[in-house]
Amino acid sequence: MTHSPLTPGIVPHRLPAEAYCTNFADHAPPLDVHEARVAADRCYFCHDAPCITACPTSIDIPLFIRQIATGTPEAAARTIWDQNILGGMCARVCPTETLCEEACVREAAEGKPVEIGALQRFATDTAMAKGPHPYARAARTGKRVAVVGAGPAGLACAHRLAMHGHDVVIHERRPKAGGLNEYGIASYKTTGGFAQKEIDWLLRIGGIEIRTGVELGREVTLDQLRRDFDAVFLGIGLQGVNALKAEGEDKAGVRNAVDFIAELRQAADVSALPVGRDVVVIGGGMTAVDAAVQSKLLGAENVTIVYRRGREKMSASGHEQDHAMQAGVRIIHNAAPVRVLGNGAATGVEFAYTSDGPGGLKLSSETFTLKADQVFKAIGQTLTGAPDGLPVTDGKIAGGLAGVWAGGDCAAGGEDLTVTAVAEGRDAAEAIHTHLTGRG
């Protein structure tokens, strides 16, 4: 990658070579067998377990933890995969602290929940390393389903359809399958190429073909897919990025946080990835946190997240916000960007303080400026490239044509969570199977 002379402060190799290995190592190392047994013994195995209700994929958490406690992690993994075929990745990236672990009875009683996410990772990692693929295909039905998007929703849908005996062709616009799991999650959360390893494992069910470099609306149209396949599932995600709507956001040194994270995830040598000395990240979600923390890990001296509302309204969990601050990231609340400063290249960002009341967000006349040679926009993504004929409400696909389903971030009800996308892809597969077999 070449760098414009307009951005002299954005450079690679800010740290000693050995620092990158340490910084981008697994930030939550896996449990060993003894640690997993001890952690599992803390579970009360609740009959009406609130952790199950809190899990978007409804995994029987007490059951899989009991299976770990009794020395059968492979059975525990099967319990997880029955509901969430991407359970290994979700164990690494799911915000368990606001879902199952927050609902844990131990959390309410002691302030320390059962380590559900770590136990899920222990079970799935153990089973993936030891045994064959745990599912076999049903007899082939002769039906073919097109899946658009090889992200969590598309992969979960494809696996469940293949298990039912249908043939699936996944069309993916990028060079690799994985979607958010491959391109959109901080490197230190999913090390060792795990996203691709999990996909390779998932494909061992058979009956699934992935065609990369195929974009809906360019290489193939929805009408073609409806003509050539018996059903279509759209899991195209959110490909656009919201604009700051601030003066000067087109200056050199200003870029989308999602592109930065994707570039880092695909980098063969993270030390070669350029980063500024003074980095400002604008936004309040997981993308903002991931971009900020990784900027710090790459050697940026000063990294600041600025969010327009209060801490309690940030979509990034309190746990992730604390992690960012522990990494040396400063977080400023109740401030919105007014303009990016600089002559050609960014040198700073001017912000106005905000108040969030019944009438909505209001900017005050009081402003402040942060020095910045690199600015990341992380203020949400938008749906782009929705096929004609599909109704879109509030920026999401609201419903489909006959024989067309949608799920994941692109669909109404979709959230920016791998686990929710998996649930929607799985459920869509069951609906498609019912439709194809005429059982409903």
pLDDT tens by residue, 320-333: 999 999 999 999 99
The number of beta carbons lying within 10 Å of the beta carbon of residue 131 is 11
- Cβ pair 44, 53 in contact under 8 A: no
Cα–Cα distance between 155 and 408 in angstroms, integer? Answer: 11
Which residue stretches of 70-140 are H helix?
73-83, 87-93, 100-103, 105-110, 116-130
293, two tokens:
């923390």
Would residue 79 be called left, alpha or beta, if left means φ above 0 and alpha means ψ between -120 and 50 degrees? alpha
Provide the greatest CA pair distance for the chain. 68
33-48 average pLDDT score = 96
What single-letter DSSP state applies at residue 336?
Answer: E
101, two tokens:
């672990």
65, two tokens:
């933890």
Q: How many CA atoms are closer than 13 Å to the CA of 136, on its beta-carbon side?
A: 2
The 10s digit of each residue's pLDDT in 246-281 is 999 999 999 999 999 999 999 999 999 999 999 999
Cα–Cα distance between 263 and 250 in angstroms, integer? Answer: 20
The 10s digit of each residue's pLDDT in 125-152 is 999 998 789 999 999 999 999 999 999 9
The 10s digit of each residue's pLDDT in 330-371 is 999 999 999 999 999 999 999 999 999 888 899 999 999 999
Rounded percentage of the chain residues whose pLDDT exceeds 90: 88
Q: Is the Cα dihedral 326, 352, 346, 310 positive or negative?
A: positive
Instruction: Note the residue count of the chain.
Output: 440
End-to-end CA distance of the chain: 54
Where b means 16+ CB within 10 Å and e means fewer, 371-389 reads bbbbbbbbbbbebeebbee
200-209 average pLDDT score = 97
116, two tokens:
């559900």
What single-letter DSSP state applies at residue 140?
Answer: P
pLDDT band at 414 (very low <50, low <70, confident <90, very high): low
Cα–Cα distance between 253 and 249 in angstroms, integer? Answer: 9
47, two tokens:
């009959």
Residue with token string 């695909």: 266
Cα–Cα distance between 156 and 85 in angstroms, integer? Answer: 6
Cα–Cα distance between 401 and 134 in angstroms, integer? Answer: 34
The 10s digit of each residue's pLDDT in 74-118 is 999 999 999 999 999 999 999 999 999 999 999 999 999 999 999
The number of beta carbons lying within 10 Å of the beta carbon of residue 193 is 10
What are residue 214's phi and psi, to 5 degrees?
-120, 110
- Cβ pair 59, 102 in contact under 8 A: no
pLDDT band at 416 (very low <50, low <70, confident <90, very high): confident
Q: Is the pLDDT of residue 1 over 90?
A: no
Cα–Cα distance between 302 and 372 in angstroms, integer? Answer: 9
Tell me if residue 421 falls in helix, strand or coil.
helix
Sheet with 330-332: list strands edge to edge: 254-256, 374-377, 278-282, 302-306, 330-332
Q: What is the DSSP string of 144-203?
A: EEEEE--SHHHHHHHHHHHHTT-EEEEEESSSSS-THHHHSS-GGGS-TTHHHHHHHHHG
Cα–Cα distance between 307 and 366 in angstroms, integer? Answer: 16
Mean pLDDT of the chain: 94
